[in-house]
């Protein structure tokens, strides 16, 4: 998976990479859920549609991950597959395959309280796209 | 950043750039130096740029790198012209600690130590996203948000005198459930009476040493006595309130005409419609947390009664005090000789009111407010008392705990090949936990030495040591 963990005294962050903006946003979603659970055992049985808006790329990234995190924290859904249906600097629309949390089948690794603006970065160029996101855990 | 030593325990971060006031950090020479302090010091400086900040951007000796504000940060803003910031409170609104004493002494508890810790672990729901036996309708949840600890006591989880021994009597004024999102309400419905995960815990301890016998007597503490500490907060409800308002205020703040050094410091003017909405929503989360800790203490009390086969009257599980660590409070403080209303943000910091303060109950007014400072699970916790000097220097605030020195990843790495629970058992401390990496992440090596942190606030005079507790059993989420 195209991400690395960043050390932070209180919490943790992710360095995510993608060939383009689309794959960066998909990889960020997968990286976050990879911290929450063992995504390999997920099947992606149900479908959810997730939209997000932002003032710029970093704001869009934070709001997108916020919406996905709420699938877990608010609806007890774990994300397996993400497909971006449309993406611009200011909004994103996606179709997400999820499983309902089953404590007998799913391991929860870490609690994420929030996706923060702390040192958030989203940058794209010829060499690809990258993002840095910190989480409150 | 230029750092000047003021005295043995205080350092001034000079006012530079867009800082409106200097920074003042409470620390020893050893604590303040080293690369780990660069980021939190930058955050102290960032907080100093916010409108309406009074006197200084402060940091306690347990300071570490947070989001927006440093953890261990304290800042007061003018009640008329200042700001209020969700980033200055944090995600776990009114994360806090309560301490209860019992009539039991260590030698009575040791033979049943394992039964007690196992029973606490089985009866207190803990771990990520844990849900409890209390399922609230939305209308009942709104009563919790409005009344806090009093709601819990009315439901039979405790007694009236518990309220006197809780900061703000366990209920912040102006809580308005109508400004809270449906998402927050949904998350709050199932989590009341649950411990949570991460650094939240229940700790059974023993009073090991009393430093101030007068205050200890007033607080009902004696050497050898068995105690209970509950550390938890507002659970998913509070995280959602913080997240909702951060999202909203990052947009709102763009209209206010000042630059933020960090988006996580998004804020609103305290007297604006937006500032009032956040304050009233935050108060709901604060009340949820107080009700939560009240319930957790009551369930623990029932467990003690069952394990030791004694009734509540003989157990005498009395609440000493309940303090919050993450909060913004409207308080009156004397600034340049005049009493002013200010909004004190304490993010990983504890209120430390002195003897005689009107906010304290009659029993504690002669000695001052009890302050509860938990350490890591293998060392000690401290009970302190508030001082007049805290009112003069730190808006009546002090430290909140040991403060992390290792990231969770670094702690896991350091724990490899070690059996943390066996190491603790060798020290006479039984641990039960639910998260698979909790024990490694929360190992004693991950935290600063609590004794050193407490020595700074004691030495600086912003609180005074009353007693030290030694853990004998811990339940972690």
Domain ranges of chain B: 3-476
Is residue A97 over pLDDT 80? yes
- What average pLDDT does this structure show over B86-114? 97
Q: Can you tell me the distance from the alpha carbon of B433 to that of B117, in angstroms, rounded to the nearest whole number?
A: 10
Which residues of A fall within a CB distance of 8 Å from B92? 113
Which residues in chain A have Cβ-Cβ distances shorter than 8 Å to B406? 9
The count of domains in chain A is: 1
A37 to chain B, any CB pair closer than 8 A? The answer is: no
Cβ–Cβ gap B239/A114 under 8 Å: yes
User: Tell me, what's the pLDDT at A10?
Assistant: 66
Give the closest residue to B197 by CA, choosing from B239, B159, B160: B239
Mean pLDDT of chain A: 94
B contact residues 85-114, partner A, Cβ 8 Å cutoff: 90-92
Beta-carbon separation of B409 and A7 below 8 A? yes
Identify from A78, A118, A122 which residue to disrupt to test chain B contact, counting B C-beta atoms within 10 A and taking the largest count. Answer: A118
B42 interface with A at CB cutoff 8 Å: no
Count CB neighbours of A19 within 10 A. 12
Do residues B39 and B65 touch, judged by C-beta distance below 8 A? yes
CB A136 to CB B186 under 8 A? Answer: no
Find the CATH number of the domain harbouring A132: 3.55.10.10
What's the rounded Cα separation, in Å, for the pair B346 and B235?
A: 18
CA distance A6 to chain B (A): 9
Query: What is the percent of chain A where pLDDT is above 70?
Result: 99
Is residue A97, in this structure, part of any structural domain at all? yes
Provide the 3-class DSSP secondary structure of residue B45. helix
- The contacts of residue B317 (CB under 8 Å, 6+ apart) are B100, B101, B102, B228, B297, B300, B301, B304
CB contact under 8 Å between A111 and B91, yes or no, is no
Name the residue facing B183 among A55, A70, A118 (closest C-beta).
A70
DSSP B257-323: T---SSGGG--EETTSHHHHHHHHHHHHHHHHHHHHHHHHHHHHHHHHHHHHT--HHHH--EEEEEE
Mean pLDDT, chain B, integer: 95
Return the percentage of chain B with pLDDT > 70, whole number.
100
Residue B407 pLDDT: 83
- Asked whether the predicted pLDDT for residue B131 surpasses 90, the reply is no
Could you tell me if residue A2 is inside a domain?
Answer: no
Instruction: Please tell me the distance in Å from A116's CA to the nearest CA on chain B.
Output: 7
Contact B129 A111 (CB under 8 A): yes
Q: How far separated are the first and last CA of chain B, in Å rounded? A: 39
- Is residue B400 flagged as an active site residue? yes
Residue B268, min C-alpha distance to chain A (Å): 17
Asked if B251's CB is within 8 angstroms of A9's CB, the reply is: no
Could you count the other beta carbons within 10 Å of the beta carbon of residue A37? Answer: 20
Contact B69, B284 (CB under 8 A): no
Active site residue: B231, B333, B400, B458, which one? B400
Q: Could you please report the per-residue DSSP string of B418-459?
A: --HHHHHHHTT-EEEE-STTHHHHT-GGGB--HHHHHHHHHH
Judge: B263–A120 Cβ closer than 8 Å, yes or no.
yes
Q: How far is A127 from chain B (nearest CA, A)?
A: 27
- Whether A114 sits inside 8 A of B91 (CB atoms) is yes
CA distance B248 to chain A (A): 11
Q: Which residue range forms the structural domain that includes residue A95?
A: 20-136
Q: Which of A6, A77, A136 to mutate to probe the B interface, most B CBs <10 Å?
A: A136
CA distance readout (Å), B333 to A83, B10, B88: 54, 21, 19
Tallying the residues shown for chain A, one arrives at 137
Instruction: Render pLDDT for A16-57 as a digit per residue (tens, 0 to 9).
Output: 999 999 999 999 999 999 999 999 999 999 999 999 999 999
A1 lies in a domain?
no
Whole-number pLDDT of residue B72? 96
The DSSP bridge partners found for residue A128 are A125
**Is B38 touching A (CB cutoff 8 A)?**
no
The confidence score (pLDDT) of residue B441 equals: 87
Phi, psi angle pair for B10, to nearest 5°: -130, 140
In a domain, A10, yes or no: no
Residue B125 contacts A, CB cutoff 8 Å: no
B179 has pLDDT over 80: yes
Cross-chain residue pair A110–B128, CB shorter than 8 Å: yes
Q: CATH homologous superfamily of domain B3-476?
A: tRNA-splicing ligase RtcB (3.90.1860.10)
Using 50, 70 and 90 to split pLDDT, how confident is the model at B127?
confident
Partners of residue A10 in chain B, C-beta under 8 Å: 64-67, 71, 404, 407
B40-44: long-range contacts at Cβ-Cβ below 8 A with a sequence spacing of 24 or more? B40/B64, B40/B65, B40/B66, B40/B70, B40/B71, B40/B72, B41/B1, B41/B3, B41/B13, B41/B70, B42/B1, B43/B68, B43/B69, B43/B70, B43/B73, B43/B262, B44/B13, B44/B70, B44/B73
> Which residues contact residue A68 at a Cβ distance below 8 angstroms, ignoring those fewer than 6 apart?
A29, A32, A33, A50, A79, A82, A96
Q: How far is B197 from chain A (nearest CA, A)?
A: 7
Q: Specify the pLDDT at position A1.
A: 66
Mutation choice for A interface testing from B239, B242, B413 by most A CBs within 10 A? B239
Per residue in B8-67, pLDDT (tens digit) is 999 999 999 999 999 999 999 999 987 788 899 999 999 999 999 999 999 999 999 888
Using pLDDT thresholds of 50, 70 and 90, give the confidence band for residue B412.
confident
Contacts of B187 in chain A (CB under 8 A): 73-74
The reply to whether A55 falls in a domain is yes
Asked if the model's pLDDT at residue B435 lies above 80, the reply is no
């Amino acid at each position: 998976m195209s991400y690395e963990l960043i050390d932070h005294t209180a919490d943790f962050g992710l360095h995510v990479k993608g060939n383009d903006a689309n794959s960066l946003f998909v990889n960020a979603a997968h990286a976050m859920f990879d911290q929450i659970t063992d995504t390999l055992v997920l099947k992606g049985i149900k479908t959810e549609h997730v939209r997000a808006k932002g003032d710029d790329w970093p704001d869009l990234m934070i709001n997108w991950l916020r919406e996905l995190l709420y699938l877990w924290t608010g609806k007890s859904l774990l994300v397996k597959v993400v497909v971006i249906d449309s993406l611009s600097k200011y909004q994103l629309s996606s179709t997400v395959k999820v499983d309902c949390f089953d404590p007998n089948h799913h391991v929860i690794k870490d609690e994420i309280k929030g996706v923060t603006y702390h040192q958030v970065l989203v940058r794209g160029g010829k060499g690809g796209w990258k993002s840095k996101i910190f989480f409150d855990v | 950043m230029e750092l000047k030593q003021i005295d043995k325990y205080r350092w001034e971060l000079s006012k530079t750039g867009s800082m409106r006031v200097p920074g003042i950090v409470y620390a020893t020479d050893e604590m303040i130096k080293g690369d780990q302090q660069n980021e939190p010091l930058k955050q102290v400086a960032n907080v100093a740029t916010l409108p309406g900040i009074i006197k200084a951007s402060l940091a306690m000796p347990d300071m570490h790198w947070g989001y927006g504000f440093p953890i261990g940060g304290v800042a007061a803003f003018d009640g008329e012209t200042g700001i209020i910031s969700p980033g200055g409170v944090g995600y776990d609104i009114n994360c806090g600690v309560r301490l209860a004493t019992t009539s039991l002494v260590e030698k009575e508890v040791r033979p049943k130590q394992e039964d007690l810790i196992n029973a606490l672990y089985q009866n207190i729901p803990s771990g990520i996203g844990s849900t409890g036996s209390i399922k609230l309708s939305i209308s009942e949840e709104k009563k919790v948000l409005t009344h806090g600890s009093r709601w819990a006591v009315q439901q039979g989880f405790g007694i009236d005198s518990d309220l006197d021994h809780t900061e703000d009597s366990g209920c912040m004024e102006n809580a308005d459930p109508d400004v809270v999102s449906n998402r927050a309400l949904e998350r709050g419905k199932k989590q009341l009476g649950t411990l949570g995960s991460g650094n939240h815990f229940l700790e059974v301890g023993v009073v090991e040493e009393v430093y101030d016998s007068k205050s200890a007597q007033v607080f009902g503490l004696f050497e050898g006595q068995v105690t209970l500490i509950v550390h938890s907060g507002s659970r998913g409800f509070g995280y959602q309130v913080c997240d909702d308002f951060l999202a909203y205020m990052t947009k709102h703040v763009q209209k206010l005409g000042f630059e933020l050094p960090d988006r996580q410091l998004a804020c609103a003017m305290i007297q604006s419609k937006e500032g009032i909405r956040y304050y009233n929503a935050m108060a709901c989360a604060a009340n949820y947390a107080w009700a939560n800790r009240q319930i957790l203490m009551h369930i623990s009390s029932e467990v003690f009664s069952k394990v030791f086969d004694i009734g509540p009257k003989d157990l005498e599980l009395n609440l000493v005090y309940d303090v919050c660590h993450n909060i913004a409070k409207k308080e009156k403080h004397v600034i340049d000789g005049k009493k002013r209303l200010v909004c004190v943000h304490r993010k990983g910091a504890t209120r430390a009111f002195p003897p005689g303060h009107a906010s304290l109950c009659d029993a504690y007014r002669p000695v001052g407010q009890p302050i509860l400072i938990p350490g890591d699970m293998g060392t000690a916790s401290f009970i302190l008392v508030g001082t007049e000097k805290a009112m003069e220097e730190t808006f009546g605030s002090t430290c909140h705990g040991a403060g992390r020195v290792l990231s969770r990843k670094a702690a896991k790495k350091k724990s490899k090949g070690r059996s943390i629970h066996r190491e603790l058992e060798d020290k006479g401390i039984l641990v039960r936990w639910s998260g698979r990496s909790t024990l490694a992440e929360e190992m004693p090596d991950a935290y600063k030495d609590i004794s050193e942190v407490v020595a700074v606030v004691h030495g600086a005079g912003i609180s005074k040591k009353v007693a030290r507790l030694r853990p004998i059993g811990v339940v972690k989420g």
